[in-house]
């Protein structure tokens, strides 16, 4: 029901549904996402790099629902193989993606809940009314007991402050959009025009659960290459596998990608929200 509704939503808006390779030679270089090896290649951690090449090729509205694989990620909210929905709009940005996301969630709420909201995270989350928007800096100021986002990154405590002190407060009663992350936490996003230290990235929270990650996509090929190399250096230093650079992707960026918005949403977690489930195991047929 859920994926059928999602597909219906995108087909109605004239998005092209596309399948891109699951097994590839160069998974996206990210500081803390590890790819499962598949022979001499790897299983994808996300379809992002191929989806962006399609944007360069002139496909302006694209979406994909499919499996993604991340090594070492297993817990109450994580599966090493999970289902991801990604969609991209050329000539748009992270605000455009927010508008899409609100439309999508409201459509799903009407279709699956009769518009009455989601029973999740200890209460009802009203998806139809106005959503809360909070910047990362505002969230730290309000919940992090005097620690700023920059300080937390320097001390290596950004994740624990986010998980322990901020996330529990997000998305209760209505969805929360946590936005404008420090650039260090947004490798594939464009920096804000008026603040080079912050990126056009937001994350959707419902009932304390992180569901989706959206960007104004980085289109500057030089900057993208520099960020990939910085990540490679970090991974090398910390003794983790360093993946090859995705050269066709970088060449596509050099060719020219229109300013675009993109988003990745965890379908299994979305199912948890609509089913009122506590664990990701409860919404999939088979879990390792």
Partner 1 sequence: MFNASDLRKGLKIEIDGEPWIVTEFDFCKPGKGQALYRCRLKHMLNGNGMDRTFRSVDKIDKPDLMQKDMMYSYCDGVNYVFMDPETYEEVLVGSDVIGDQSHFLIEEANCEVLFYREKPVEVTLPTFIEKEIVETEPGARGDTATNVTKPAKLDDGYEIQVPLFVNQGDVVKIDTRTGQYSERVSKA
Tell me which of 193, 238, 256, 286 binds partner 1, using CB under 8 A. Answer: 238
Shortest gap between Cβ of 160 and partner 1 (angstroms)? Answer: 6
If the CB atoms of residues 43 and 212 are measured against partner 1, the closer one turns out to be 212
Q: How far apart are CA 280 and CA 278, in angstroms?
A: 7
Tell me which of 86, 93, 137, 203 binds partner 1, using CB under 8 A. Answer: 203
**119 token code pair:** 């029973």
Residue 154 sits in the site that holds partner 1 (CB under 8 A): no
Residue 156 sits in the site that holds partner 1 (CB under 8 A): yes
Question: Tokens 């605000």, residue?
Answer: 95
Shortest gap between Cβ of 113 and partner 1 (angstroms)? Answer: 25
Q: How far apart are CA 55 and CA 63, in angstroms?
A: 11
What angle, rounded to 10 degrees, do the helices at 267-275 and 94-113 form? 40
Number of chain positions touching partner 1 (CB under 8 A): 26
Q: What residues numbered 48-87 form the site for partner 1, per CB under 8 A? A: 72-78
Tell me which of 18, 31, 111, 275 binds partner 1, using CB under 8 A. Answer: 31
Tell me which of 56, 90, 187, 252 binds partner 1, using CB under 8 A. Answer: 187
Tell me which of 5, 13, 20, 33 binds partner 1, using CB under 8 A. Answer: 33
If the CB atoms of residues 60 and 138 are measured against partner 1, the closer one turns out to be 138
Piece in contact with partner 1 (CB under 8 A), picked from 82-90, 141-149, 157-165, 270-278: 157-165
Q: How far apart are CA 240 and CA 34, in angstroms?
A: 8
Tell me which of 29, 30, 89, 93 binds partner 1, using CB under 8 A. Answer: 30
Shortest gap between Cβ of 193 and partner 1 (angstroms)? Answer: 22
Is the CB of residue 73 less than 8 Å from the CB of residue 79?
yes
Tell me which of 19, 103, 142, 159 binds partner 1, using CB under 8 A. Answer: 159
x-or-dash string of contact with partner 1, 205-224, rule CB under 8 A: -----x--x-----------
- Residues found near partner 1 in the complex (CB under 8 A): 30-33, 72-78, 156, 158-160, 162-164, 167, 185-187, 203, 210, 213, 238
């Amino acid at each position: 029901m859920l994926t059928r509704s999602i597909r219906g939503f995108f087909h109605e808006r004239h998005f092209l549904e596309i399948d891109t390779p699951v097994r590839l030679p160069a998974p996206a270089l990210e500081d803390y996402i590890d790819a499962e090896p598949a022979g001499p290649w790897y299983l994808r951690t996300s379809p992002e790099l191929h989806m962006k090449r399609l944007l360069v090729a002139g496909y302006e509205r694209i979406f994909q629902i499919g499996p993604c694989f991340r090594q070492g990620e297993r817990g109450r909210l994580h599966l090493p193989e999970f289902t991801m929905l990604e969609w991209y709009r050329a000539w748009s940005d992270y605000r455009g993606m927010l508008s899409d996301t609100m439309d999508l969630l409201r459509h799903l709420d009407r279709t699956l809940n009769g518009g009455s909201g989601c029973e999740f995270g200890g209460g009802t989350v009203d998806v139809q009314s106005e959503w809360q928007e909070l910047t990362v800096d505002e969230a730290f100021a309000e919940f992090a007991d005097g620690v700023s986002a920059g300080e937390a990154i320097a001390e290596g405590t950004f994740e624990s402050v986010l998980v322990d002190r901020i996330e529990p407060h997000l998305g209760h009663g209505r969805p929360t959009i946590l936005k404008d992350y420090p650039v260090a936490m947004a490798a594939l996003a464009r920096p804000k025009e008026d603040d080079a230290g912050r990126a056009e990235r937001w994350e959707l929270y419902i009932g304390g659960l992180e569901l989706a990650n959206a960007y104004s996509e980085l289109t500057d090929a030089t900057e993208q290459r520099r960020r990939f190399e910085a990540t490679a250096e970090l991974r090398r230093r910390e003794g983790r596998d360093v993946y090859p650079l995705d050269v066709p992707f970088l060449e596509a960026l050099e060719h020219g990608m229109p300013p675009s918005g993109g988003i990745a949403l965890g379908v299994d977690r979305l199912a948890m929200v609509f089913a009122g489930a506590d664990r990701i195991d409860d919404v999939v047929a088979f879990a390792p």
